Amino acid sequence: MTTVMTAEESAGTHATDSHDVIRVQGARENNLKDISVEIPKRRLTVFTGVSGSGKSSLVFSTIAAESQRMINETYSSFVQGFMPSLARPDVDVLEGITTAIIVDQERMGANARSTVGTATDANAMLRILFSRLGEPHIGSPQAFSFNVASISGVGAVTIERGGETTKERRSFSITGGMCPRCEGMGTVNDIDLTQLYDDSKSLNGGALTIPGYTADGWGVRIYTGSGFVDGDKPIRDFTEKELHDFLRKEPTKVKVGDMNMTYEGLIPRVQKSFLSKDREAMQPHIRAFVDRAVTFTACPDCGGTRLNEGARSSRINGINIAEACAMQISDLAGWVRSIDEPSVAPLLRNLQHIFDSFSEIGLGYLSLDRPSGTLSGGEAQRTKMIRHLGSSLTDVTYVFDEPTIGLHPHDIQRMNALLLQLRDKGNTVLVVEHKPEAIAIADHVVDLGPLAGAHGGQVMFEGTVEGLRASGTLTGRHLDDRATVKPSVRGATGVMQVRGASEHNLRDVDVDIPLGVLTVVTGVAGSGKSSLIHGSVATRDDVVSIDQGAIKGSRRSNPATYTGMLEPIRKAFAKANGVKPALFSANSEGACPNCNGAGVIYTDLGVMASVSTTCEVCEGKRFDAAVLDYHLGGRDISEVLGMPVAEALGFFAEGEARIPAVHAILARLADVGLGYISLGQPLTTLSGGERQRLKLASHLGEKGGVYVLDEPTTGLHLADVENLLGLLDRLVDSGKTVIVIEHHQAVMAHADWIIDLGPGAGHDGGLVVFEGTPAELVAARSTLTGEHLAAYVGA
């Protein structure tokens, strides 16, 4: 039998070999200006450019989003109904894309019950291990779960068989691992009643001091209208029964006016509405109330382990599951290796792989019982990477968003090795990155710019790292920037004493933080920097703490609403035109009636992606046409919200539109390098670096003598780091004390004083290994930080 060969095959090539690039043509997502790029497959491509230049729009919102959308479309419409519907990105052609696995910086679910163990499947495997090998044997894997309560019941059930109805007695029981006292939370709370209400006032007189409980709101009306308490009597005059009904009455159906409602005592209501959420996920004013009103202590029954006595009694080689989860993961890996039991060999192998991956990725210092809401952005991203490290998948696209965030220069080398390992297995690796050490390992570079926002969105360079250096683009020019250690440093005006700090892994640390200067706290990831500063400094009076927490906001939120400047702008418009301020809000009376102030109409197509079209009535301006007839300084409200910060700075500085409060906020936005974003730009369209700087600008207006910043260079381009250092200098020169937790060598070199923690991570860290000026640290080279800083400044 003869086979016919094509011309291509006879030449030794195959048609499939021609698909070796991801081709993007005409991408217009967010600020992208109709760009086209070709990205080589099975290579490591790094996307560079200033914060807001369009990197994430190209990588996440175009390539990764289309890959996910097309995979979702392969499922049946029934399954698609349960999945988020994704709209097709605004792009003409996308060819050669493969399955995309996204590893982003989003904080892990801030659910109070979520821990490192539950988020990585390690807990699930440990529970199976203990249910098989634990002595004494107490039950199935759920007997070791702190999220499953033990319950039992007995009663009659009605069964229909062959047209006849019979009753049978049945009993059931579930053995769970949840501690009954704290309900698996690990902490019990004690509520300070004086922070919930003022007992000298009546409920109608505004006695409740809980956020959201106003005298005329439903939160209070359900109490005053229930008939259980007298709304006009001061709380201190309540009878014993009234006070019990007010504070602790179990849920009861009542009629308030003509509405059926469920009445519940104030304490259980506060516990359900405020204390079931993780503290990290709360809005600032709610968090302040909870910190004031509630004291959390480790549960006395379970000792904070969340598990009941039964789950804690079962042991393997003398260790119970609570002790295993509390161990540092690098130690836990050794314990798992010591278990020699062929019957559970596959389980032990998987556990060893997970724990070894933690150590490999530089997270061996964590423990499985660490709440996932307390992980930093960088730690969360690396925890998500764990499940991909041992994967046998090849020819997939891994998409990383600044994987070096939160990493010491020493750890970046390790991260680079992992990225290259993923590539060498035959995968396409796309990385959005700013750090020169991470850009250096790229096979291919795509540089976006030239600037940010409306002035970005163009491809400035495609090629090798060497080509980027010689290209003359903003990134190319700054790629080899090396800061020098300051020849002279400022002198301290005093010291802030920290004594006996022992939070997390800190080992009874005593340190003096100088006042009136720029202090940088550094050390490898997990050495105890955040524990020292957030645990012992950020909680003090006169301290403004700016952490890494993400900005929360919907597509109706924008810089004007987030920073609070929209309120004085609305009042100025109202005063100038003699009308109500509410008219100048797109979320209130001034909203376009057709789109309800959204600017776009959303059409839901069931399992298909919903379609958004610009509102034809207001043409995307979001306001009712009548509102746009009112002007301030010759501009209507939609034109004011459309202005970039830099232009608005001049507009609100003089003439009829002069508003000093707004001008001060705009000046701070310009200070942090956000002069190009418009006042009404939805927060959902801002990049990670832009959101961080917006948060920084809003906090700069707070009154305080000490500013604590947690990795402010996150998401910042090399060129923007210079602007940030200028801002920090201006803060110090104005008499403030600035304390920065940072890994960026340019910030370390610029410091007046350095506190280096280490020497390692987890229980190998927690000590101050150096205190002094950057020049002394470079000269001594006694720590990992000293070695890397010396190499950076070329000493």
Our measurement of the distance from residue 303's CA atom to the centroid of its chain's CA atoms, rounded to an integer in Å, reads 29
> 3-state SS of the chain: helix, strand, coil percent to 5?
40, 20, 40
- The pLDDT assigned to 446 comes to 98
- Do residues 108 and 283 touch, judged by C-beta distance below 8 A? no
Length of the chain: 795
Q: pLDDT tens digits, residue range 491-531?
A: 999 999 999 999 888 999 999 999 999 999 999 888 999 88
Continuous segment of H or E residues that includes residue 28: none
Q: How far is CA 360 from the centre of its chain?
A: 23
Cα 708 vs. chain centroid, distance in angstroms? Answer: 18
Q: In 3D, which of 606, 521, 764 has the Cα closest to residue 85?
A: 606
Judge residue 334's burial from the number of C-beta atoms within 10 Å of its C-beta, 0-12 exposed, 13-18 middle, 19 or more buried: exposed
Strand duo 518-522 + 737-741: pairing: parallel
Q: For 55-74, what is the mean pLDDT? A: 94
The pLDDT of residue 438 is: 94
pLDDT of residue 608: 65
Mean pLDDT of the chain: 90
pLDDT at residue 605 tops 80:
no
pLDDT-derived band at 280 (thresholds 50, 70, 90) equals low
434 near 462, Cβ under 8 Å? no
Q: pLDDT by residue (tens digit) across 310-353? A: 999 999 999 999 999 999 999 999 999 999 999 999 999 999 99
pLDDT at 464: 97
Cβ(673)–Cβ(53) below 8 Å: no
Q: Is the per-residue pLDDT at 288 higher than 90?
A: no
The answer to whether the beta carbons of residues 277 and 112 sit under 8 Å apart is yes
Residue 607's pLDDT is: 63
Task: Give residue-wise pLDDT tens across range 642-693.
Answer: 999 999 999 999 989 999 999 999 999 998 889 999 999 998 888 878 888 8
Q: How far is it, in rounded angstroms, from Cα 560 to Cα 662?
A: 9
Is the model's pLDDT at 48 over the cut of 60? yes
* 789 vs 499: CA distance, rounded Å: 28
Give the Cα separation of 303 and 504 in Å (integer).
16
Q: How far apart are CA 371 and CA 367, in angstroms?
A: 9
Residue 737 pairs in a beta bridge with 706
- In this predicted structure, what is the pLDDT of residue 219? 82
> What are the pLDDT digits (tens) for 340-392?
999 999 999 999 999 999 988 889 999 999 988 778 767 888 888 887 877 78
Give me 243's structure tokens.
């006070």
Give me the residue label for tokens 């839901």. Answer: 604
Q: What is the dihedral of CA 626, 568, 730, 654, to 10 degrees?
A: 70
Edge-to-edge order in the sheet of strand 100-103: 100-103, 397-401, 428-432, 44-48, 444-449, 458-463
For the chain, the maximum distance between any two Cα atoms, rounded to a whole number of angstroms, is 104
Gap between the Cα atoms of 21 and 39, Å rounded: 5
The helix (run of H) or strand (run of E) holding residue 259 is strand 259-263
pLDDT at 606: 66
Distance CA 499, CA 356 (A): 36
Q: In this structure, are residues 557 and 682 in contact, taking their beta carbons and an 8 Å threshold?
A: yes
Distance CA 16, CA 563 (A): 53
Answer whether 66's CB lies under 8 Å from 97's CB: yes
In this prediction, residue 111 carries a pLDDT of 76
- CA-CA distance, 99 to 414, in Å (whole number)? 26
Q: What is the pLDDT of residues 107-163, one digit of tens each?
A: 676 677 889 999 888 999 999 999 999 999 999 999 999 999 999 999 888 888 888
Beta bridge partners of 495: 514
The DSSP element (H or E) to which 745 belongs, if any, is helix 745-750
Helix (H) or strand (E) holding 567: helix 566-577
Output the six-digit token pair for 768. 């101050």
601-614 mean pLDDT: 76
What is the reported pLDDT for 476? 94
Helix (H) and strand (E) counts for the chain? 30, 27
**Structure tokens of 366?**
């964590």
Q: At what angle do helices 240-248 and 266-273 cross, to 10 degrees?
A: 10
pLDDT band at residue 222 under the 50/70/90 scheme:
confident
Q: Which of 59-63, 181-185, 267-271, 444-448 has the lowest mean pLDDT?
A: 267-271
Per the CB < 8 A criterion, the answer to whether 532 and 521 are in contact is yes
User: What is the crossing angle of helices 377-389 and 345-360, to 10°?
Assistant: 140
- Burial class of residue 216 in the structure, from the number of CB atoms within 10 Å of its CB (0-12 exposed, 13-18 middle, 19+ buried): exposed
- Rounded to a whole number of angstroms, the distance between the first and last alpha carbons of the chain is 73
d(CA 604, CA 625): 26
Q: Residue 394 carries which side chain, given as an amino acid letter?
A: T
- Start-end of H helices in 396-503: 409-424, 436-439, 465-471, 474-478
DSSP secondary structure string for all residues of 370-395: SBGGGS-HHHHHHHHHHHHHT----S
The rounded distance, in Å, linking the Cα atoms of 286 and 587 is 23
Judged against a pLDDT cut of 80, whether residue 168 lies above it is answered with yes
Closest CA to 329 of 312, 347, 308, 351: 351
Spatial separation of the C-alpha atoms in residues 133 and 154, rounded to whole Å:
31
pTM of the model: 0.83
Mean pLDDT lowest among 162-176, 427-441, 732-746: 162-176
Instruction: Tell me the percentage of the chain whose pLDDT exceeds 70.
Output: 96
Q: Which residues pair with 768 in a beta bridge?
A: 757
Q: Alpha-carbon distance 716 to 142, whole Å? A: 45
pLDDT per residue as tens digits for the range 74-118: 999 888 888 877 788 999 999 999 999 998 776 676 677 889 999
Name 689's Cβ contacts closer than 8 Å, sequence gap at least 6. 51, 52, 714, 715, 716, 717, 720
Structure letter (DSSP) for residue 474: H
pLDDT at 729: 95
Residue in the structure block whose two tokens are 């990725």: 361
635: which residues sit within 8 A by CB, 6+ positions away? 643, 651, 657
Cα–Cα separations (whole angstroms), residue 314 to 303, 309, 319, 657: 16, 9, 8, 72
Strand 100-103 vs strand 397-401: parallel, antiparallel, or unpaired? Answer: parallel
The answer to whether 328 touches 219, Cβ cutoff 8 Å, is no
Cα–Cα separations (whole angstroms), residue 721 to 439, 716, 717, 792? 16, 6, 6, 15
374 vs 372: CA distance, rounded Å: 5
Question: Residue 3: is its pLDDT beyond 70?
Answer: no
Find, among 395, 409, 403, 336, the residue nearest to 368 by Cα.
336
Please provide residue 203's backbone torsions phi and psi, each rounded to the nearest 5 degrees: -60, -40
